[in-house]
Amino acid sequence: MKKTMPLLQRESVSDHTSKLERLFEDELKDIYWAEKALVRALPKLLRNVTSEELYKVLEDHLTETEDQVVRIEGVFATLGKEPKAKKCEAMAGLIREAEAIMSHTQLGAMRDAGIISAVQKVEHYEMASYGTLRTFASTLGLDKAVSLLQENLDEERAADSKLSELAVSAIHFEAAER
């Protein structure tokens, strides 16, 4: 005799899926807002950087961030949805924090070190978001979305590790200047 899932259980599975899909879409709106806010905020950080290496890392990451916005639009497309942004309070706070660091430091090695620390917090928020989104997409069987989100996650990780290397040299530079 063919085994079939009880009706109630079948309904609860599809209910569960649609709830997860809603959560996925909500989180996607959040990171979409965050990435677009970063496209606007990074040029201001660039104007405050003195280290050439840091400038290059942030400039490259600005280009990547613009590509990430396009990939997120691709993820919305896999859901058959128009891309929509919802204000991400966490990212708004992290950007405010970066602005505060710039206003409390003088142009030079100290401000560079402060910018590195602020951007690394941003990268970690993004890594956490993309890690979760990728897991949700994989649970929902959205293979194309999984690979788009993985690409964004890989770029955030790479940017974070480049910044970690620069943080070490920025601290050494500051110590040598004293």
Q: Which stretch binds Fe ion (CB under 5 A): 3-11, 96-104, 138-146, 155-163?
A: 155-163
Q: Which stretch binds Fe ion (CB under 5 A): 40-48, 85-93, 142-150, 153-161?
A: 153-161
Estimate the crossing angle of helix 143-177 against helix 52-78, to 10 degrees: 160
160 sits near Fe ion (criterion: CB under 5 A): no
Instruction: Tell me the number of residues near Fe ion by CB under 5 A.
Output: 6
156 sits near Fe ion (criterion: CB under 5 A): yes
Nearest to 22 by CA among 138, 140, 141: 140
Out of 29, 75, 112, 126, the only residue in the binding site for Fe ion (CB under 5 A) is 126
In whole angstroms, the minimum distance from the beta carbon of 127 to Fe ion comes to: 8
In whole angstroms, the minimum distance from the beta carbon of 33 to Fe ion comes to: 12
The binding site for Fe ion (CB under 5 A) comprises: 35, 65, 68, 123, 126, 156
